Amino acid sequence: MKKWSNLWWLAGLVVALVLPLVMTNPAYRGIAVYTLLFTACATSWNMFSGYSGYVNLGAAVFYGTGAYSEDLLANHLNMSGGAALFWLVPLSGVVAMLIGIPVGLVALRVRRHTYVVITIAIFFVFQLAATNFGFTGGTAGLTIPFIPWMASYFDVPFYYVALAVLIFAILLSAGVRRSRFGLQLLAIRDDEDRALGLGVQVAAVKLTGYVMSGFVIGMCGAIYAMKQGQIYPQFVFDPLFDITVALMCFFGGFGTLVGPIIGGVVLESAQQYLTVTYSSGGSLYLIIFGALFLLVILFMPRGIVVYVKDWWGRRQSRIESSQTAATAGVAS
């Protein structure tokens, strides 16, 4: 079993590495970059919200902060367009984390459902701020120095940087799951007061998880800003981003390592494909997403990964019991 799962990971990595070499259509490469970015965001979101049960519907706070940091840093440092802008990506992730500290201190004072509402409220505060402040360029947004790469080749560097960020996100999430810190997040999910009474410093653990998830999401925002060239407040502080990332995790498997990866790859590539193919009906995917969300909640409330695992387990035990019955029949 263990060996098989390692093989799956390896196969996935190989496919991801060769994909842009095989897939030469720039439109599809673009889809692949967004898929990687969203999968990384979902993985990172799940590392806090999935493990701790604190559903964050304001993850775009990190994404937008990362995007704006990238542009602001590039402009203030008078950088010219090119690969050097990638150095600002981790820096933007750090800025998103720093912004996450006061935000987390406010939002994490409350529990569960109230927390969800607070994260949405804080998200709108950020969107409003980005729209109205002078240094963010208001509704006109910000522009990053022009990157003079050939159109046919443009997305390839973005692809590999996004892939690196995704791999980092997966390793981080897996590391957290194995650490004592991860155990404490799970304990908080199951019973926060009980965890507190067993010495878990819940406030510090929650804030750390929240801020950590902001690092990767902020980096993804920065890569998006670089790729787009121009950012607007309503697209980087986008309520759809909040919902999509959460949906990916619920779809694939909330609180599991593989779930957000499956959810991200399936949903984001499907969404991008539909948008590109039916560009006139750009909101078609929203209707499909809504229907899908309902189906998942109704029939697979714990996500595909858990559903398939359960199904496989039941199937195996059925086979085993029928085999035992057969042997018993022979014996008698």
Partner 1 sequence: MTTLLSASNVSRAFGGVQALNGCSLEVRRGSITGLIGPNGSGKTTLFNVMTGYVKPDAGSVTFEGQNITGARPNKVFELGVGRTFQLTRIFARMTVLENMLVATQREESWLRGLTRSKSSPRELEAAMEWLNFVGLAHLAKLEAGSLSYGQRKLLELAYVLVANPDVILLDEPAGGVNLTLINVIAEKIQALNEQGKTFLVVEHNMEFVMKICHQVTVMHQGTDLVTGTPGEVRTNPAVLDAYLGGGDETDEELEELANG
Interface ranges with partner 1 (CB under 8 A): 178-184, 186-187, 189-191, 193-202, 204-205, 208
Query: Interhelix angle for 26-45 vs 239-252, to 10°?
Result: 80
Q: What are the φ and ψ backbone dihedral angles of 231, each rounded to 5 degrees?
A: -120, 145
Minimum CB separation from partner 1 for residue 194, in Å?
Answer: 4
Minimum CB separation from partner 1 for residue 204, in Å?
Answer: 5
Minimum CB separation from partner 1 for residue 202, in Å?
Answer: 7
Which tokens is 116 given? 């969800």
Q: For partner 1, give the closer residue by CB, 202 or 266.
A: 202
Q: For partner 1, give the closer residue by CB, 193 or 320.
A: 193
Minimum CB separation from partner 1 for residue 89, in Å?
Answer: 23
Residue 215: partners with Cβ closer than 8 Å, 6 or more residues away = 44, 93, 94, 96, 97
Residue that the structure tokens 């810190």 belong to = 181
Minimum CB separation from partner 1 for residue 303, in Å?
Answer: 14
Q: For partner 1, give the closer residue by CB, 278 or 312.
A: 312
Which tokens is 307 given? 């559903």
Residue 303: partners with Cβ closer than 8 Å, 6 or more residues away = 249, 250, 251, 252, 253, 254, 256, 259, 263, 296
Q: For partner 1, give the closer residue by CB, 117 or 202.
A: 202
Element (H, E) at 230: strand 230-231
Q: For partner 1, give the closer residue by CB, 20 or 260.
A: 260
Minimum CB separation from partner 1 for residue 259, in Å?
Answer: 15
Print burial letters for 132-157: b (CB count within 10 Å at least 16), e (below 16). Answer: eeeebbeeebbebbebeeeeeebbbb
